Chains A and B, each alone.
Chain A
């Protein structure tokens, strides 16, 4: 079982560059989430999606964009990378609405912006 797969695992960007973090899940979950994790700060929700074609902002959406064209995929786009976006990014999925269901996490993507 693959579960939630994120690519790349590591990436270094220069300020102003753009990139897309890929996330795919094979569990047919409707709900998908992007979090960022900063040292000592826990996880902050960036964007989430309740199904294909539907996305919404979380707590810290500035500087990011998402799309959800299929149930399986939920890519996170960084436009004009800034040092403040240096973080570890986690994609997660859930069968049920967030609080009612277990979140399944990918292994994370560590991004450094220099």
Chain B
């Protein structure tokens, strides 16, 4: 069965410091990969996604992520965090149709709560 692991439940980073949030997946094939952000009291917003091609993808709000097939990872990075980045971050994966994926959406990790210190 497919699974998504976000090893860090909480991460605290000082404002202006760099950030890396980890995501590992277990799938039979290379899935589509996503990072979503959830601000307090809000729904989830897509930060970026990887389908194929260049393994370094750029997203909104200055975020980027790198797909590493050998490590089954899709880590999210930002060079310099801002206080407004404090939120919950979710990694999600899904199988493309050509790999047997269905219409039942994505599998989400349990999330990483990002705290920004002034």
A and B together in one complex: yes
A43-B90, A100-B97 are known contacts. Are A48 and B105 too (CB-CB below 8 A)?
A: yes
The reply to whether the CB of A53 lies closer than 8 angstroms to some CB of chain B is: no
State whether A31 and B103 are in contact (beta carbons under 8 Å apart), knowing that A40-B110, A99-B96 are contacts in the complex.
Answer: yes
Beyond A100-B101, A103-B105, list 10 extra A-B contacts (CB 8 Å): A33-B105, A42-B110, A42-B111, A97-B97, A98-B101, A99-B31, A99-B95, A100-B51, A100-B96, A103-B46
- Report Cα–Cα, A103/B93, bound state, in Å: 12
A contact residues, total (Cβ < 8 Å): 26
How would residues 84 to 110 of chain A score, 1 for a CB under 8 Å from any chain B CB and 0 otherwise? 000000101010011110110111100
From known contacts A99-B95, A107-B43, infer whether A40 and B9 are also in contact, taking CB-CB under 8 Å. Answer: yes
Q: In whole angstroms, what is the CA distance A22 to B97 when docked? A: 29
Query: Does the CB pair B45–A94 fall under 8 Å?
Result: no
